Each structure stands twice: as C-alpha cells, then as structure tokens.
Structure 1
Amino acid sequence: MKDAVETKRDLEASRNGIKALISIGLAWAFDAMDFSILTFVLVDIMKDYHVPLTLAAGVASATTFARLGGGFFGGLLGDYWGRKASLVLSIFWFAVFEFLTGFSIDFTLLYVVRIFYGIGMGAMYANGTPMLMELMPTKWRGIASGIMQSGFSFGFIFAALIYRNWYGFLGWHGLFYVACIPAVLVAIYIWWQLPESTRWKNERAEQTSKKVPISQLFNQGHTWSTIHAAIISVLAFSVTYPINVFYATLLTKNGHFDTAVVADTIILLNVAGIIGNVIGGYVSDLIGRKWVIVISGIATLFCSFLFLDITNDTLRIVFTFLIGLFSIGGVWAAIPTYIAEHFRTSVRSTGQGTTYHFGAALGGAIVPLIVSSVAPYVGGLAWSMTYSVAIASVLISVFALLYKETKGMELE
C-alpha cells in the first residue's frame, strides 16, 4: 500500500514537472520573443526618431537594465507571496507594456515603456525558473534547465517569423500589438493548471518569521555563492547579448542582406541555440554544470570570428550554426539550474532573480552599449562584437572552474 501511494505521488510530481516545463518554458519563449522583436527594428527606430545606433540600442539596454529591478522586487514577492501568483502577475505586466510599445509616438515614450516592460521580464524569470527547478525531480533538473533556456531561442525564432511575415503588413509598431497575446494565454494556463511549489510551501510553513531572510544571501557561508552567481550571470550575458542585439543589424548594414536572409540567419542561429541548450542540459546531468559552461565557452571563443566575414554565404551559415550551438545554447544550457542550486529555497527567487538580472544589467545592457560605442575605434561593429564575445568566453570558462560542482545535489 505504501509503495502504491509513493508511486502515485511520484507520478503526480512527474506530471506537474512536465506541465511546469512546458508552460514556464513557453512563458520564457514569449517573453524572449517580445524582447527580441525590438532588435529587428533598430534600423526603423533610428530612421523614425532620428537617433544614432547607440541611442537606438540603448532602448534594448534600458529594458535589460530594468530587469534588475524586476528580478529583485519580483524575487522578493515570489519568496514572500509564492512563485505561482508572482509568476502570473509578472507575465500580465510585461504583456501590457509590450502592447503599449506599439503606441510609442516618440523616442522618450518608447524608452519609458520598455523600461516598465523590462521590470515584468525580470520578475517573470525570478519566479518562473525557481518554480520549475523546485517542481522538477533532481535527476531531470539539468535537461529541464536546457529545455527551458532554449525558450529564449524559440522566442527569437518566433520574433524572426513575425518580422518576416508580418512586418510588411503591420509595420514595426503593429508587430508589438500581436506579440503580447500568446503570453497572456500561457499566464491563464499557469494559473489554472500548475500547483504552487511544494518546496516553497513547506519552507514557508517552517519559518517562524514570514519576512524574506535576504541576509541569507551574504551570511552562513553563502557570500561566495551569491557573488559567483552574479559573476557567472554577467559573463553569460556578455557572451550572448552582443550577438542578440547586433547580429541582425550587422547583417543588414554590413552584409546588405534583405529581410528574408536576415530572418533566416537569425532563425538558424537560434535553431542551433535550441539544439545546444537541449544537448547541454542533458550533458550537464552527466558530466556536471560547470564543465558544460567551460567547454561551451572555449568553443565560442574559436567561433567568435564569424562576424568578420558574414558576406561569405558558406562561412556565414556554418559559423552561425556553431556560434548558436555553443554561445546561444551551450553556455546557457546549465544556467537556470546552476544559479538555482546556488541558493536556499527561502531566498531562491530573490537570489536567482537578483544575480541573474545583475548579469542582465551589466552584461546584457552595458556591454552592448560598450560594443556600439567602441565600434568606430576598433575597425567597426564586426570587430567590436568579436573582441567582446571572445573576451567574455575566456572569462566565463575561468570563473566556472572556481566554484563547486552542483550536479545531483538536493535543493536546500
């Protein structure tokens, strides 16, 4: 009888884990889609609002920087109020401001709206990732991490498809009106179908004080865990975001490719990213989280010269796939579970949301600004992207080696 009860409990946990993986993975994909559309229309923003590339790219950077506030306050809300309600609220938040992006009648309004959008985006990750890791059985966390992180690549593909098929009909403003709809549907599904994290509920029930113990991030031997999570996040974003933000622009301005070629190249990049995330997530359950990051970082270093010769079709196709496999995919495959395993349940949303989006603020927001700013002085955007990605790839490999392996550990 006891075995039957335990079997039923295990089956229910597996079903909940699968539902969480699909729904939270889709939420992240549509979040990424909404963010990524902006990168396809930077040229339009430059033309319509008469701003240089640095200012246009600054919109994406401001959005990314705002994610830090969303990650911190959304994480606090998730640790105090629960993962599920906070996750649903954050999805509705960013969907509303995605819709309002289309109504931006001048550059200042666009800037402000995207900052508010970034707050919701940060809160979504701060609650969705811990919730998924807490609902998944330990042996599946690595592959779940890779599949969920591949949602960002799916988001880029969805954005590329929308851009390719609807840009001519809707214009760049209209793209944002339709992009928010799928996320709202996923939020409704999560509210009705996903349970709250049992691990979070048990932790809250055992606490004598209902305040979120933020001090745990920097005491009881956890200081290095928090600092290391922040450093790894900064470097992971530094590897990927110059590519995410500028590759479409590089293809358009340096390569002089038309809309179809640009979209197809970005789709290839992110298909490779999906493959890299899934394989990397699976392998991280075999050889460890940090070794997947190290191997992928070294491979990205050798692929970073792609940007210097994008007009050669063969090289562009081959190296777009490889850099997607290792930088968009491999480096990131283990990040969701790796960062989650740095923190205790009582502060996991706050810790993961804050350190991940600290990485977004520095690596995802400031590094692209640096890349665009120094481009005129180092031979152009292609050289600037190459230097940035290569340096970040070396550093993330080094810092991954400076922390313990977390493969197979039980969440505290």
Structure 2
Amino acid sequence: MKTLSTAETVPTNKKTAINALITVGLAWAFDAMDFSILTFVLIDIVSDYHVPLTAAAGVASATTFARLGGGFFGGLLGDFWGRKMSFIVSIFWFSVFEFLTGFSLGLTLLYVVRVLYGLGMGSMYASGTPMLMEIVPTKWRGIASGIMQSGFSFGYIFAALIYHFWYSALGWHNLFFIACIPAVLVALYAWWKLPESRDWKVNRQQQKTKGVPLSRLFTKGRTWNTIHAALISLIAFAVTYPINVFYATLLKQDGHFSAAVVANTIILLNVAGIIGNLIGGWLSDIIGRRWTIVLSAIGTLLCSFMFQTISNDLLRDVFTFLIGLFSIGGVWAAIPTYIAEHFDTGVRSTGQGTTYHFGAAIGGAVVPLIVSSVAPFVGGLAHAMTYAVAIASILAIILAFLWKESKGIELE
C-alpha cells in the first residue's frame, strides 16, 4: 500500500490555512445570503400566493429539511470523492436553484425549487466545514470555527442590503437573480486555489477499501458521539432559527416598521452575531467548547423575553444586539469545530454533514413551524418566539455537559 511521504503529511502552512478559511467562510456567507433572502419576503409570498404565514414559512422549513439529504449525500461524496470537489459541485448546485427561485410563479413550484436548493446547501456545509477543520492547525480550530460560522451573519447582512436597496425597485423575484452570482465566483476561486485536505488524502490512501463504512459512526464507542452531535445541532438550530425565520416578520407585523428599519435591525442583529462568533471562537480555544456554549446559552435565555418590547426603538436596538451576540453568535461559534471533533477523518464529512443537518431538519425546519402554529394560542408571535428560544437555551446548557471537552484534541 502506498503511503504519503513525510513532506506530504506535514501540517499545512499559514497561508494555506488562511486561504481555506476565507474561501469556506465566503461560501458559507453567500450560501446564508441566498437562504436568508427568503425570510425577508415571507409577507410577499403570503400576499402574492394568498396563503397563510405557516404555508409561506413552510418554504424555508422545507429548504432546511432538504439540507439533511444534502448533508448526508454530500458527506458521502466528501468522504469518498474528496472534500474539495464535493464542496465546489455543491456551490454550483445551490447557485443554479437560487437563480431558478426567481422564476417560481406559484407556491408549489417555489417549494420544489427551494427543496432542490436545500440539497446543495446541505452538501456544501458537509464538505467545506470538515475540510476547513482539517486544514487549519489545532490551536486555531476554535477561532477558525467562529470566523467561518460568522459567515452566516455576514450572509444575512448581505441579504438585508439586497432587500434594502433593490426590493422596492425590482420586486422580490428579482432579488434571487442577484443573489446567485457571488457564490459562483467563490466556487471558481476554490477550484483554482483551494487545496484538498491532507488529512483526507492520508486517510484515503491508508484505507483497505475505498467505500465509506457508515457503521463507523456507531461502532467502537462512537454511538454516543454521533447521537450527541445530532442533538447539540438540533438544539443550536432551535435556539437560533425562530429568530432567523421570524424576526423580520415580527418587526413588520407587530412593530409596523418600514422596510429600511427592518433591514437596519436585521443588519444590527447580524453585526452582533459576527462579534459573538469571533469572541466565542476565540474563547473556545481558551475556556473550551463546552463553556462557550453554556455561557452563550445563558445569555440567550436571559434575553429571550425581550421579543415583546420591539415597539420601543431603544429597547429594540439593545435587545437586537444582545440576542445577536449570544444566540446568532456565541452559541454557534464553537459548533463547526465541536461537531468535527466528534468524528474521525474517514467519516467526518458524512458524520458532520448528517448530524448538523439533522439538527437543521428538526430544529431549523420543524421548530419554526411549531412556533408559527402555536403563536395564535400563546398570545402571538412574540410570545411563541420567547418560549421556543428559552426552552432551547436550557436544553443547550444541559447537553453541553453530556459530552467531553474536546478543545485541543488532534483530529484522528
């Protein structure tokens, strides 16, 4: 069996690590931008297609649920074919269906296109995140996780800017034609500049069989690792997605704010999320993944009741910053590296892609549907969001203490 030479297995250099961080971070940012634009136009979908809010929100939930299939199959490709090619193909896939979203002239067609879009979104994360975690040095893994995860907040800000500047002039369909362009450019750059993960190449050459043994997710004491990764993903999504999906709607519906105020508030939310991700990623390399998640969940819990005060401008802005800092940022800062550290290299892409997007399917798709469904019975959308975020925060604290601290471990 051929093995890699010492020169081929030495750690990647700083320039390569930074290049991978920028590329994967931008891909995640533009992926998130494309996904987030839909949350700004839920009211338009309700109006144009004459459907209830739950049906319109179901489009975002269907997209999120489809990410589970993308995470699983994209993860298999990432472990079998290589992180790089799976990453690039995934970006092209979701960009095509982002573009086609603009041609969706009915709710059924919109559902179909966004489900296909979700497959690519799930696949991109399943290959890109493990690749990044394998390329960056161990001592950088936490901050790299925070920087990469902040890409979602950057993406939400980019979506808010597109909505702010072009919604009134172009209408909601045309926003999707604009949104698909940047990700394609990132895919082309990745094809040209991004290296394949050396960890994956070494592992692939050492394998006696070239398939992906899914049983490795549940053998030799790995069962709880896999289950825990799925559960912590579910709860992290349940903390954040009621906010991602409904906050813009809450500002419009309960606050009666203009499009400009809604866009500016969402930008503030995600600027705070970026700060929270950077601080959280840095802290996770110091105090560990567990305490980063716990402290952020406590902060989110303390802020969760403030959804009911958005009509006051000052309180709205202060609350928006704090909830962004702790939930959009802090809770998520350690998640990419935390989940990567649950799995060995041979199945990391499959394991990370599947468990992360299991969380997306339940916490990101089902929980928002529950929130919108129970809202009329608990005093409105603001109360439903409060209860959902508070309960999820408590569960995040409990789960964080049910797995080992993984700061500083070498990826196997």
Q: Within 5 Å, give how 1:13-412 maps onto structure 2.
A: 13-412=13-412
**What is the rounded CA distance, in whole Å, between the counterparts of 1:11 and 1:171 in structure 2?**
49
Unmatched 5+ residue regions in structure 2?
A: 1-5
**What is the rounded CA distance, in whole Å, between the counterparts of 2:263 and 2:300 in structure 1?**
22
Letter in 1 for 2:136: M
Cα shift at 1:351 = 0.2
- In structure 2, the residue corresponding to 1:196 is in which secondary structure? coil
**What is the rounded CA distance, in whole Å, between the counterparts of 1:113 and 1:336 in structure 2?**
27
TM-score w.r.t. the length of structure 1 is: 0.98
**What is the rounded CA distance, in whole Å, between the counterparts of 1:150 and 1:172 in structure 2?**
26
Using a 3 Å threshold, how does the CA distance of structure 1 residues 277 and 7 change in structure 2: closer, same or farther? farther
**What is the rounded CA distance, in whole Å, between the counterparts of 2:240 and 2:130 in structure 1?**
22
Cα shift at 1:314 = 1.0
**What is the rounded CA distance, in whole Å, between the counterparts of 1:217 and 1:285 in structure 2?**
26
Cα shift at 1:266 = 0.3
For the 8 Å contact 2:9–2:198, the answer to whether it is kept is: no
Cα shift at 1:14 = 1.4
For the 8 Å contact 2:145–2:335, the answer to whether it is kept is: yes
Cα shift at 1:7 = 11
**What is the rounded CA distance, in whole Å, between the counterparts of 2:252 and 2:283 in structure 1?**
36
Provide runs of 4+ in structure 1 moved above 4 Å: 6-12
**What is the rounded CA distance, in whole Å, between the counterparts of 1:200 and 1:19 in structure 2?**
18
Instruction: Give deviations 1:34-76, integer Å, cap 9, x for gaps.
Output: 0000000000000000000000000000000000000000000
* Alignment root-mean-square deviation, CA: 1.3
**What is the rounded CA distance, in whole Å, between the counterparts of 1:151 and 1:317 in structure 2?**
22
**What is the rounded CA distance, in whole Å, between the counterparts of 1:411 and 1:36 in structure 2?**
32
Q: Tell me the residue number matched to 2:3.
A: none
- In structure 2, the residue corresponding to 1:293 is in which secondary structure? helix
Letter in 2 for 1:151: G
For the 8 Å contact 2:11–2:137, the answer to whether it is kept is: no
**What is the rounded CA distance, in whole Å, between the counterparts of 1:297 and 1:401 in structure 2?**
13
Letter in 1 for 2:117: Y
Aligned length: 407
Letter in 2 for 1:250: L
- In structure 2, the residue corresponding to 1:349 is in which secondary structure? helix
Cα shift at 1:306 = 1.6
Q: Percent identity?
A: 74
- In structure 2, the residue corresponding to 1:51 is in which secondary structure? coil
Letter in 1 for 2:294: V
Letter in 2 for 1:275: I
Q: Tell me the residue number matched to 1:3.
A: none
Instruction: Give deviations 1:362-404, integer Å, cap 9, x for gaps.
Output: 0000000000000000000000000000000000011001100
Unmatched 5+ residue regions in structure 1?
A: 1-5
**What is the rounded CA distance, in whole Å, between the counterparts of 2:122 and 2:66 in structure 1?**
8
Cα shift at 1:8 = 12
**What is the rounded CA distance, in whole Å, between the counterparts of 1:399 and 1:44 in structure 2?**
38
Instruction: Give deviations 1:136-158, integer Å, cap 9, x for gaps.
Output: 00000000000000000000000
Cα shift at 1:183 = 0.1
Cα shift at 1:77 = 0.5
Cα shift at 1:13 = 2.0
**What is the rounded CA distance, in whole Å, between the counterparts of 2:397 and 2:189 in structure 1?**
38
TM-score w.r.t. the length of structure 2 is: 0.98
Using a 3 Å threshold, how does the CA distance of structure 1 residues 79 and 253 change in structure 2: closer, same or farther? same
- In structure 1, the residue corresponding to 2:13 is in which secondary structure? helix
**What is the rounded CA distance, in whole Å, between the counterparts of 2:198 and 2:13 in structure 1?**
10
**What is the rounded CA distance, in whole Å, between the counterparts of 1:263 and 1:165 in structure 2?**
10
- In structure 2, the residue corresponding to 1:74 is in which secondary structure? helix
**What is the rounded CA distance, in whole Å, between the counterparts of 1:153 and 1:12 in structure 2?**
28
For the 8 Å contact 2:242–2:367, the answer to whether it is kept is: yes
**What is the rounded CA distance, in whole Å, between the counterparts of 1:96 and 1:13 in structure 2?**
34
**What is the rounded CA distance, in whole Å, between the counterparts of 1:108 and 1:184 in structure 2?**
26
Letter in 1 for 2:193: Q
Using a 3 Å threshold, how does the CA distance of structure 1 residues 7 and 215 change in structure 2: closer, same or farther? closer
Cα shift at 1:10 = 7.2
- In structure 2, the residue corresponding to 1:57 is in which secondary structure? helix
**What is the rounded CA distance, in whole Å, between the counterparts of 1:320 and 1:380 in structure 2?**
19
For the 8 Å contact 2:39–2:60, the answer to whether it is kept is: yes
**What is the rounded CA distance, in whole Å, between the counterparts of 1:7 and 1:96 in structure 2?**
39
**What is the rounded CA distance, in whole Å, between the counterparts of 2:134 and 2:254 in structure 1?**
45
**What is the rounded CA distance, in whole Å, between the counterparts of 2:351 and 2:33 in structure 1?**
25
- In structure 1, the residue corresponding to 2:171 is in which secondary structure? helix
